[in-house]
A and B are shown apart, each in its own frame.
Chain A
Amino acid sequence: AQSVSQHNHHVILSEAASLELGCNYSYGGTVNLFWYVQYPGQHLQLLLKYFSGDPLVKGIKGFEAEFIKSKFSFNLRKPSVQWSDTAEYFCASPPGETGGYQKVTFGTGTKLQVIP
């Protein structure tokens, strides 16, 4: 079964700083990974997704993530954060055919606080 883990629970950055949030996965066959974001008071929404192909995935709002198979990682990055990026970020393995619906897993989340 594929599981994901996030080691940074709370990150504080100043505006314009670069961001990298860690996500590691345990191998379980075909690897498929998502990043979700939860802005304060808003719905959880999909930031980006990796199914196969190019390991560098571009998402919304200038975010990107790189799938590195040798490191079992799918870290989320943004070159320059803004105050509006303050949110909680979740790495997840999606439900699907190979994993089965019951295999969907979320990381514990990373709270990002951006200071103006």
Chain B
Amino acid sequence: DGGITQSPKYLFRKEGQNVTLSCEQNLNHDAMYWYRQDPGQGLRLIYYSQIVNDFQKGDIAEGYSVSREKKESFPLTVTSAQKNPTAFYLCASSIRTGRFHEQYFGPGTRLTVT
């Protein structure tokens, strides 16, 4: 089955520790995205990548870092600099539909930092 895998589903960390969230896709999509979902705030774009070895900051990139060494993988690191890291994180990839890109989402990782 083609799709997007995020692991783990739940993640717990102590404050001050960096943590890396995994995102893998086997859809052969070029573009990948990371969003953060908070209650009442919808989805906010953290980082996106259009091709391998290239990525761009989204609206709330501070305290996060990414890499895109392989087409299939787009891991997100939540650093200790992120002031409010507890959230639900969604990874997505997209395929071109005409002039626009239709996004497919993973199941998400819920990160809790105490």
Determine if B69 is an interface residue (Cβ-Cβ < 8 Å): no
Which one of A41-49, A57-65, A67-75, A79-87 is at the interface?
A41-49
**Scoring B residues 1 to 32 as 1 if CB is less than 8 Å from chain A, else 0, what string do you get?**
00010000000000000000000000000010
Chain A: number of interface residues, binned into ranges:
20 to 34
B94 neighbours in A (Cβ, 8 Å): 95
**Residue contact A109 to B31, C-beta cutoff 8 Å:** no
B56 neighbours in A (Cβ, 8 Å): 101-102
**Residue contact B101 to A106, C-beta cutoff 8 Å:** no
A45 neighbours in B (Cβ, 8 Å): 105
**Residue contact B42 to A101, C-beta cutoff 8 Å:** no
**Residue contact A108 to B41, C-beta cutoff 8 Å:** yes
**Residue contact A98 to B42, C-beta cutoff 8 Å:** no
CA distance A102 to B92 in the complex (A): 14
How many Å from the CB of B38 to the closest CB on chain A? 10
How many Å from the CB of A8 to the closest CB on chain B? 12
CA distance A106 to B107 in the complex (A): 17
CA distance A107 to B37 in the complex (A): 11
**Residue contact A106 to B100, C-beta cutoff 8 Å:** no
Q: What are 26 sample pairs from A and B whose C-beta atoms fall under 8 A apart?
A: A36-B105, A43-B4, A45-B105, A46-B103, A51-B100, A90-B42, A94-B100, A94-B102, A95-B33, A95-B94, A95-B101, A95-B103, A96-B99, A97-B99, A97-B100, A101-B33, A101-B101, A102-B58, A102-B59, A104-B33, A104-B48, A106-B35, A107-B42, A108-B41, A109-B40, A109-B42
B residues adjacent to A (C-beta < 8 A): 4, 31, 33, 35, 40-45, 48, 50, 56, 58-59, 90, 92, 94, 97-103, 105-108
